């Protein structure tokens, strides 16, 4: 299974480079995904972000060097890619709850995080519906923020962004400028590999004319895997995203293309059990 082999290869690359530099772009290339899709896939399958996993693995190895090898804290910090002993100590305390100097005492209880073993179970009791659709280019306008996928920042900042634009009237203005009031979009785009940041927009179909200060967003024509979703937000969509990476990709062998990630929201009560939305994934 190519997809499974790629992910296992990514775990092996991380293990080989824990003492040294880990190139996130190299990880993404091994997975044959963009860096943004790789981060999202990794967290969906393992329930931990890439950066958090690497930090926990490094802090597990650091314990042996502190207790058995008695290495200097600054030497351990540099070997694990930290610019100072202070930065290393903060990361160590985040994982173990105590400082590196306190960890040298044998009476202290510490945590161990073994390497992840990837095992995908393809479940047949709940079918996953999807369609493959070629869609024309989209001309949208939207309000956006810049966020980051490392340490799950986007999972906190994007929901807060939606709360903010509803509270301050931005979303109402956006809907008033829409070509139709039938739907809106949540779009991840303009990924920056240098710092793992990307833009996220709440967007609507552009009616033409005055944009009322909103950003114009062009989505090129593409082939999409479209996944219907039913249930209250955001839990129902989060469940679909997880199943895409943990079930659909391994089962179908499809290849994700570079491009925007799109969530499509129908009108209705987003807290309702029968609320409808969709996830669109560009495919090769």
Render pLDDT for 229-248 as a digit per residue (tens, 0 to 9). 999 988 898 889 888 888 88
What's the pLDDT at 121? Answer: 55
Q: Residue 284 in contact with residue 257, Cβ under 8 Å?
A: yes
Render pLDDT for 171-182 as a digit per residue (tens, 0 to 9). 999 988 887 767
Q: Residue 9 in contact with residue 17, Cβ under 8 Å?
A: no
Q: Residue 227 in contact with residue 130, Cβ under 8 Å?
A: yes
Domain made up of 2-103: CATH architecture: Orthogonal Bundle (1.10)
For residue 234, say if its preceding peptide bond is cis, omega within 30 degrees of 0: yes
pLDDT exceeds 60 at position 1: no
Distance, CA of 148 to chain centre: 9
Domain ranges of the chain: 2-103, 131-282
DSSP assignment string, 261-278: EEEEE-SS-TTSTT-EEE
- 274 is written with which tokens? 């029968």
What's the pLDDT at 111? Answer: 87
| Average pLDDT, integer, range 126-141 | 90
Report the range of poorest mean pLDDT among 43-52, 116-125, 228-237, 238-247: 116-125
Dist. CA 23–CA 26, nearest whole Å: 5
Q: 131-282 — its CATH code?
A: 3.20.80.10
Distance, CA of 122 to chain centre: 22
């Amino acid at each position: 299974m190519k997809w499974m082999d790629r992910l296992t290869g990514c775990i092996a690359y991380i293990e080989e480079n824990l003492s040294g530099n880990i190139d996130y772009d190299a990880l993404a290339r091994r997975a044959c995904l963009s860096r943004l899709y790789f981060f999202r896939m990794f967290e969906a399958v393992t329930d931990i972000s890439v950066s958090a996993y690497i930090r926990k693995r490094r802090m597990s190895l650091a314990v042996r060097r502190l207790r058995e090898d008695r290495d200097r804290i600054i030497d351990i910090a540099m070997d694990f890619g930290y610019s100072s002993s202070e930065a290393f100590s903060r990361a160590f305390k985040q994982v173990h709850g105590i400082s590196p100097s306190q960890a040298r005492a044998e009476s202290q209880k510490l945590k161990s995080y073994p390497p992840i073993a990837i095992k995908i179970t393809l479940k047949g009791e709940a079918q996953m519906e999807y369609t493959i659709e070629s869609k024309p280019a989209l001309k949208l306008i939207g309000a956006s923020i810049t966020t980051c996928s490392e340490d799950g920042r986007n999972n906190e900042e994007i929901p807060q962004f939606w709360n903010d634009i509803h509270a301050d009237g931005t979303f109402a203005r956006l809907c008033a400028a829409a070509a139709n009031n039938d739907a809106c979009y949540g779009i991840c785009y303009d990924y920056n590999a240098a710092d793992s940041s990307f833009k996220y927009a709440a967007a609507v179909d552009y009616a033409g004319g005055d944009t009322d200060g909103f950003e114009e967003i062009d989505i090129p024509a593409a082939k999409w895997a479209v996944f219907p979703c039913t249930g209250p937000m955001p839990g129902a969509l989060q469940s679909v995203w997880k199943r895409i990476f943990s079930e659909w990709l391994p089962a179908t062998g499809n290849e994700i293309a570079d491009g925007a990630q799109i969530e499509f929201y129908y009108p209705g009560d987003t807290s309702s059990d029968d609320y409808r939305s969709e996830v669109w994934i560009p495919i090769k």
